Amino acid sequence: MATGDIKLLAANAITLAISMTHIEVTLKVILLLISIGYTIAKWVKLKE
């Protein structure tokens, strides 16, 4: 392997790790919003 190949592989690995971290945060926010919506819907249904 050439030095350029190793540098490219390292850059791709770092980029993939960063993008996976952002995906995880996005999924956590979506899950939080769904949980809040579900709780509000249950409260409204219980109030009726």
Residue-wise pLDDT tens digits, 2-48: 888 888 888 888 888 888 777 888 889 999 999 999 999 999 999 98
Task: Give the three-class secondary structure for 48.
Answer: coil
Question: Which pLDDT score is estimated for 44?
Answer: 92
In angstroms, rounded to a whole number, what is the distance separating the alpha carbons of residues 43 and 19? 36
In angstroms, rounded to a whole number, what is the distance separating the alpha carbons of residues 29 and 24? 9
Question: Which pLDDT score is estimated for 1?
Answer: 65
